[in-house]
Structure 1
């Protein structure tokens, strides 16, 4: 049985794997709201693309936050992975999350959603753990952490896709569904996934304080971080031009994502 331990930042480590983040990630005060509700189906805005609910907004932020830690983890994997399968999985992380990030940055301003520039403290802990590891341990923890987190969010993507009435969120969910399934498959293809432990951690995550699970809001005026597609990118952003009448991906003044070191 794996043991749980907590580091100084409050991130919960689960042996060779880590607990998944699945909580509300919205910034209601930045959206002109004065009260947070627990009713995820509450409509917070009526847009030309359909009503936007609490869970719709949370989903867009979750996708963005996921990319802010999984993209650099993919970069780390390209440097540290010791098998061809781990290198391939790392390439898929960078490629897939760059495309998802482009879609998030396109639809967020249209829906008045504030996106983070950093992942949550827990997600930053994922990156820190893998940065500190090497060799077989890195490969194993990489595969199990990413298989667990993608397996957990997969159900959330399905729920959003089946319930949202907002066409922009629906387009993001379609893309996220394909990307998450692809990432699940490449993690499994490493042959390193401990399914018993991963599924246990996936279905019984520990309860952590909201401060560990919520990405910090970006400081006013800070350029938006961009997850740059790799030169050989094969993943493409969702085609929302027919819904929006066109538009570009990166926001003016956007800054490139920090690279793993």
Structure 2
């Protein structure tokens, strides 16, 4: 991996972003009792994380379709679009049921990822794409497992099941590009730079702002979780 990517990751890459500013420092604190089980701060934060991840990875997947120079990179982009469109549908179903406000734009850190890849071209894009996405998915994989093993909320558990399958798939397709520098990626996952909470937190949606929807591709293979009593999806915006 080149020096440019190392600097990019050192400056930007640590994907365990916060949700909207927590009221308490205790992730296990119950913030609501719902018919699907207690909702903790960690549960709420996880729903926000999944939504925010799609808000940057979906457009980056679209970039890969246009800018990728190898078939493996293009396939990886297709998987990002497909997987995050399905996760987005699930998030938008369960968020109002749990009274969780979800973002319409990614965090500043995640926007930095978009900006870096948008400025790249050719082989540099392929390399940065594969390594940045491998770092972010490798880190969030642990968060998914923790939520799945600890949440008492059935809606959050269903989202974690779906996210587990999706994240593992995305890790796999990034590795299949043959471009992942494992030494650098594992270093970034285990010794992340300390960033201020403001860089890691997606802003809450503006009042009255239409909800951004990540539209599934025509040939979608990933499916959202089927949830009885879930509200109908919002109209597509953007």
**What TM-score range do you get, normalising by the shorter chain?**
over 0.9
TM-score normalized by structure 2? 0.95
Alpha-carbon offset, residue 3 of structure 1 = 6.7
Whole-angstrom distance in 2 between the partners of 1:221 and 1:70 = 25
TM-score of the pair, normalised by structure 1: 0.87
Match of 2:205 in 1: 218
Deviation at 1:21, TM superposition (A): 2.3
Q: 1:13 to 1:246 in 2, by over 3 A?
A: closer
Other-structure match for 1:33: none
User: Which residue in 1 is equivalent to 2:49?
Assistant: 62
In structure 2, the CA distance between the partners of 1:99 and 1:255, relative to structure 1 (3 Å rule), is same
- Of structures 1 and 2, the one with the larger relative CO (CA 8 A, separation 6+) is 2
* C-alpha separation in 2, matches of 1:3 and 1:203: 19
**Cα distance change on mapping 1:3 and 1:88 into 2, 3 Å:** closer
User: Does the CA contact (< 8 Å) of 1:228 and 1:256 recur in 2?
Assistant: no
Map 1:7-22 to 2 at 5 A. 13-14=8-9, 18-22=12-16
Give the conservation status (yes or no) of the 8 Å contact 1:49–1:167: yes
**Structure 2 partner of 1:98:** 85
Matched, 1:135 2:122: yes
Q: What's the counterpart of residue 148 of structure 2?
A: 161
How far, CA to CA, are the matches of 1:92 and 1:68 in structure 2? 15
1:178 to 142, 160, 165: 165
- Name 1:32's counterpart in structure 2: none
For the Cα contact (< 8 Å) 2:102–2:204, is it kept in 1? yes
Matched residue count: 237
Q: Which has the higher helix share?
A: 2
The alpha carbon displacement at 1:211 in A equals 1.1
- Alpha-carbon separation, structure 2, partners of 1:247 and 1:255: 15
Q: Matches of 2:77 and 2:4 in 1, distance apart?
A: 26
Q: Distance in 2 between matches of 1:76 and 1:207?
A: 28
Asked if 1 retains the 8 angstrom alpha-carbon contact of 2:215 and 2:236, the reply is no
Matches of residues 72-111 of structure 1 in structure 2 within 5 Å?
A: 72-111=59-98
Per-residue CA distance 1:159-194 (angstroms, 9 max, x = gap)? 000000000000000000000000000000000000
Residue matched to 1:23? 17
- Secondary structure of the structure 2 residue equivalent to 1:105: helix
- Structure 1, unmatched stretches of 5+, are 6-11, 29-35
| Displacement after TM superposition at 1:255 (Å) | 4.0
Counterpart in the other structure of 1:256 = 237
Task: Measure the CA separation in 1 of the matches of 2:28 and 2:156.
Answer: 14
